[in-house]
Amino acid sequence: MLPFRVKFMHGGAAVLGFGLFAGSAPAAEPTPAAVRPAASSSAPQVASAAGAEASLAGFSLLATGGFGASTTSVRQLELAPYGGNFGVDAGYTFRVGLHLSGYFQYSLGRREHQNYHPRIGRDFEFTADTSSMSAGISFGWDVPLYALVLRYGLGFGITSMKWDFGSTPPVDVRFGGYESPTVGFHFAPSMALLYEHGLFEGGIGFVYFAQVNGVIPSGFVGNLLCGVKL
């Protein structure tokens, strides 16, 4: 499955990167929308966000903190390189909504005590202690949502996972040939709901670290974000 993922994800990254950049170009000649009859009912109109677009532009510097969990097991092992985490996200939003940023995140991880069932030999218990660091760049788009901003993102970067199996030789748990820390590429779809007031910017969000290196588990991380927007 690993070679398959690598080939696929590289292609997907290139395609989506092109798509996001193309999206920043002026849209094709629009025509006024003909709203369905149901949409013109007498019910309260949903808010138009057009007026808020001008305020999207600016630099933002956000501190992030939250908690994450692995969504995959690796070679029958339960690894938890995410857990509690903190980091930083710095970027710029263009007036049209395009958001470019760089991010860094350190995840404390946690210890996972588990019973391993080898294909040959007796079962044994051991503890896997893992943590990780991730960094990369992100292409995103800010969409006004009433007084809030909905930020779509897709990050591309590197994750470095430290692991320690104690006295258990790595080869016994099919980690032979790997060294700690193990490094791999990731891409990271994300979403955040942000509130801006003056210089303050903060909100909640999540990021999904889809790991290309099959030895590093993918993970879902929920974050609180707090910082400034200039």
Partner 1 sequence: MKRRALAVASSFALCAGRAAAADPATLPPASAAAPAVTATVQAAAPPAPAPPKPPAAYGDLQSPELSSTRYSAYSLPRRTWAFDIGALGIGGGDVFANLGAAYGFGGGFQVEMNLAHFGVGLTNVDFGYHFLGTRYFDLGARLGIGYGRGEWFWLAQGAAKNLVSKIDLVNVPIELVASSLVTRWLELDLAVHYDFVKAFGSFDDDSSLFVKAELAVNQVFLRPGARVFVSDRTALELFAKLPLYSAVPLERKTVTVPFDKTWSIEAGVRSRLAGRVFGNLRLHYGSIADVLYGARLYPSFDVEFRF
Binding site for partner 1 (CB under 8 A): 1, 3-5, 7-9, 11-12, 15-16, 18-20, 22-24, 26-28, 30-39, 41, 43-49, 71-72, 96-97, 141, 143-146, 150, 152, 154, 189, 191, 208, 210, 214, 218, 220
Query: Least CB distance from residue 48 to partner 1, whole Å?
Result: 6
Nearer to partner 1, 72 or 180 (CB): 72
Nearer to partner 1, 50 or 123 (CB): 50
Nearer to partner 1, 1 or 123 (CB): 1
147 three-state secondary structure: coil
CB 86 within 8 A of CB 63: yes
CA distance 80 to 112: 7
Query: Least CB distance from residue 204 to partner 1, whole Å?
Result: 14
Nearer to partner 1, 61 or 94 (CB): 94
Query: Least CB distance from residue 219 to partner 1, whole Å?
Result: 9
What one-character-per-residue DSSP string does 33-86 give? Answer: ----GGGGSSSPPPPP-GGGGGG--EEEEEEEEEEEEE-S-BTTB-----EEEE
Query: Least CB distance from residue 167 to partner 1, whole Å?
Result: 29
Nearer to partner 1, 100 or 191 (CB): 191
Which residues contact residue 157 at a Cβ distance below 8 angstroms, ignoring those fewer than 6 apart?
103, 134, 135, 136, 137, 185, 186, 187, 188
CA distance 105 to 160: 11
